Structure 1
């Protein structure tokens, strides 16, 4: 239904695509993968006609409707979230507006007969488009994305950027087009919303083309992967894990072919060098030179840039790391904690689960000293050195300093080589280290703050959504680094791969009470039968 044929595209000096081809067929659910800056968003923009390829063509079957969700949601204000979402359904909402106007305009009382006739026509069209169910469907989608009733009916302009993103996503989901292009739909979603969206997309019968930095989310939905690799588009049938295995196997085979050919070439060149001055071997030498000229060279596999970095061991703390005793906390009329007791001990890695408003971030703020309890006590144990990562930490970066200068400011005694290795491990290579902090993306800022925190590691990490904005490669690097970390951890994350890989304790906050589980996230899922509080597998 959508075909890309021999497309080429260049942004400035950067070649994104070179005679690349791919197709999206009916019923396919495709994950689009590739390193940051490879051209994933540009590809979506070309399919929707917002940009044109320099060469080649993109064709969409006649009559096919496309819904495109991007990270750039634009301005939203003056209407309720429900109205904004219903507007995405196109003509249905127009008919709904006509009905509403016809029924509530007293100045047209004299023309009631004509109005009723038009009302009858509009009503027929409204029914034809399923309009009566539209508002209910809009509310159902918004509820799935964790909106409360007051949020649905309030002015969308009062919502934060993350919630506006959810409204924009809900518009596309309600529209149910023939094809959905979703650019990072899992960003800004809590675990409950993520699992709801997963179920929705699995039940969607149209074609899906999406990017996501959440491997579990991608893995459960897609049945094909398209990878942007050095300007070309390579297709793999199967889920994300299958793609990873196939790619690794392909790289292994290509490396073996490359090495065999290099050995053969070295042998031939050695023969030519040895006998080129001897007249008796002139014919053999010429024959081998011609043979070498005709050989099609095997390229070594293009390896993803990942730099291993050996983080220093964290200093040892006492056995008791953090303690909350009889803690009370409320915001206005909303009670978050009432007589809450909780203890973190050395080498425990607590992941905190709970629906929106359950008090996950509040707990982390209390432990980190960023918020005070209304009553009760919060204390840290002996020799505890804490590192606290929260979204606001990214706002504290000095916009006029470069990435490298920021690292130098944090660690003035460190050598340049060590800091360059640190920058490389967190995805800053080449000229990236000279970028000013003010131009960094959300993901780049998160990586820089994380690098500053882990270079001289604390023995207690308090992490609030540390994987937001991080790409798949950086997440894997971070999981690898933290897997070797010997300090205590208390963290909130909606990334199930991160939760399963790093937790060994689960704290579940629910309206019915607080539950503690020994064992990590995988054991929690096995024991409770759900992946998040109140959601069943």
Structure 2
């Protein structure tokens, strides 16, 4: 509190002196103008937590207001969902035929209560739409030599990508993983061998260069419209909303976008094009945890072929059925799991002859079996996850329709004059909607039980 007991002149002198001070300044003050003039970072202590904010006090005040508004909206949505669950449990707790379903709903309630309001409602919600016709194989390389003129990187590469293939690439930086992906999509010509794409192969490619290719003067909506000039504006805006581009962020130029926002837009453009082959090079760079989780869920339900490079081990474990190791100029099947690969990498760095470290052998047959089991599990999950999504959408629509109807019935103006017939009709509609809501709840709970049978909750 350096300005306590100082008059204005002394405060201004101190402010100017601090602006020219070459050292580090750590300060507590309640003088906001003084802070604005002298500080470029704010530390706030709230709820026994320390948070860092870029900018001066005015920046902090604005950002904090936005954060609290978002938290409040999330909290209110969470409470509505909890109240809905509790109401369902109360109604069905003592009915023997519904007891197990009510317990399933209780489990969801318990999981929700463990999550902070800021995380219960992710702003991201998207899925890869069905791609239509597909070739088999989609794409193949045969005895290919990959790299650049006079500088081959990989030799004798044979790789076949079929519908449903889910491949993760492993290898150290510079081993040739990105070279392989660029060669697959035809961006990098082969030095030797053949590349053959199926007639109905639709490739979606993402790397960090896609961010640089974005038109900073165009809006997110315009980027999508350029891909599909015939698409309706509302359709485009609804789609972009799933990537948390709403309002001005969807319709204004993207020049102010952060790296994370540009990465989200680049991924959205890939999704919009309905690829049946996804080729992803470090797709999680710049993405926050909410967006990473949404992308993982979308890839879980994706029905096309996938080949990716990522340093996000959680993403690889949950989306790839096969692993390929790119090393020493070749591409080989890797029949162990990521934990074994991590150990090998660490050992190779510790070893004095790390450049010639041998390729890890698959010491446990169970590793491959685990990946096969995970693949089979995903195959069972995909159609069920789609059904759950459809049911939840129908539940939301039924709830909105019921609320609108009940608001109409609560309007005193409805009962003025000769409106008995209209009231009777509305009451009849209310009963039908409530019955439909109950049916959808039972369907949703049955689907939850099926999900839990495939993946038991922790």
Q: What TM-score results when the alignment is normalised by the length of structure 2?
A: 0.52
- 1:525 — aligned with what? 338
- What SS is found at the alignment partner of 1:414? coil
2:186 aligned with 1:373, yes or no? no
**Number of aligned residues:** 284
Alignment of 1:24-423 (within 5 A): 40-42=52-54, 51-53=55-57, 230=68, 256=82, 304-331=121-148, 334-423=151-240
Asked if structure 2 preserves the Cα contact closer than 8 Å seen for 1:462 and 1:489, the reply is yes
For 1:20 and 1:254, the matched residues in 2 are separated by: 29
Asked if structure 1 preserves the Cα contact closer than 8 Å seen for 2:204 and 2:275, the reply is yes
2:311 aligned with 1:494, yes or no? yes
For 1:232 and 1:385, the matched residues in 2 are separated by: 38
Q: Structure 2 vs 1, CA of residues 463 and 8 (structure 1 numbering), >3 Å: closer, same or farther? A: farther
For 2:85 and 2:144, the matched residues in 1 are separated by: 64
Query: Aligned-pair RMSD on alpha carbons?
Result: 4.4
For 1:420 and 1:478, the matched residues in 2 are separated by: 19
Residue of structure 1 aligned with 2:263, choices 415, 440, 446? 446
- 1:108 — aligned with what? none
How far 1:410 moved relative to its partner? 1.8
Instruction: After superposition, give the CA deviation of every residue in 1:358-409 in whole Å (9 maximum; x if it has no partner).
Output: 1011001101111111111122124211111122222222222111222222
Instruction: After superposition, give the CA deviation of every residue in 1:455-480 in whole Å (9 maximum; x if it has no partner).
Output: 23111111111111111111111111
How far 1:516 moved relative to its partner? 0.8
Q: Structure 2 vs 1, CA of residues 55 and 327 (structure 1 numbering), >3 Å: closer, same or farther? A: closer
Residue of structure 1 aligned with 2:321, choices 504, 520, 526? 504
| Structure 1: unaligned runs, 5 residues or longer | 25-29, 33-39, 43-50, 57-227, 234-247, 261-299
Residue of structure 2 aligned with 1:21, choices 21, 38, 46? 46
For 2:294 and 2:344, the matched residues in 1 are separated by: 24
How far 1:502 moved relative to its partner? 1.0
Q: Structure 2 vs 1, CA of residues 423 and 18 (structure 1 numbering), >3 Å: closer, same or farther? A: farther
For 2:85 and 2:301, the matched residues in 1 are separated by: 33
Q: Structure 2 vs 1, CA of residues 495 and 7 (structure 1 numbering), >3 Å: closer, same or farther? A: farther
For 2:185 and 2:75, the matched residues in 1 are separated by: 45
How far 1:5 moved relative to its partner? 10
Instruction: After superposition, give the CA deviation of every residue in 1:421-465 in whole Å (9 maximum; x if it has no partner).
Output: 211111212221123133322221221121122123111111111
How far 1:20 moved relative to its partner? 4.4
Q: Structure 2 vs 1, CA of residues 388 and 512 (structure 1 numbering), >3 Å: closer, same or farther? A: closer
Asked if structure 2 preserves the Cα contact closer than 8 Å seen for 1:8 and 1:20, the reply is no
Q: Structure 2 vs 1, CA of residues 257 and 454 (structure 1 numbering), >3 Å: closer, same or farther? A: closer
For 1:365 and 1:498, the matched residues in 2 are separated by: 21
For 1:470 and 1:489, the matched residues in 2 are separated by: 19
Asked if structure 2 preserves the Cα contact closer than 8 Å seen for 1:7 and 1:53, the reply is no
Q: Structure 2 vs 1, CA of residues 438 and 231 (structure 1 numbering), >3 Å: closer, same or farther? A: closer
Q: Structure 2 vs 1, CA of residues 431 and 52 (structure 1 numbering), >3 Å: closer, same or farther? A: closer
Asked if structure 2 preserves the Cα contact closer than 8 Å seen for 1:317 and 1:384, the reply is yes
- 1:101 — aligned with what? none
- What SS is found at the alignment partner of 1:320? coil
- What SS is found at the alignment partner of 1:483? helix
Asked if structure 2 preserves the Cα contact closer than 8 Å seen for 1:308 and 1:425, the reply is yes
- What SS is found at the alignment partner of 1:489? strand
Q: Which moved more, 1:443-452 or 1:357-366?
A: 443-452
Asked if structure 1 preserves the Cα contact closer than 8 Å seen for 2:43 and 2:53, the reply is no
Q: Structure 2 vs 1, CA of residues 486 and 22 (structure 1 numbering), >3 Å: closer, same or farther? A: same
- What SS is found at the alignment partner of 2:138? strand
- 1:485 — aligned with what? 302
| Structure 2: unaligned runs, 5 residues or longer | 1-25, 61-65, 87-115, 351-359, 361-458
Q: Which moved more, 1:500-509 or 1:433-442?
A: 433-442
- Structure with the higher helix share, 1 or 2: 2
Q: What TM-score results when the alignment is normalised by the length of structure 1?
A: 0.45
Asked if structure 2 preserves the Cα contact closer than 8 Å seen for 1:353 and 1:532, the reply is no
- 1:210 — aligned with what? none
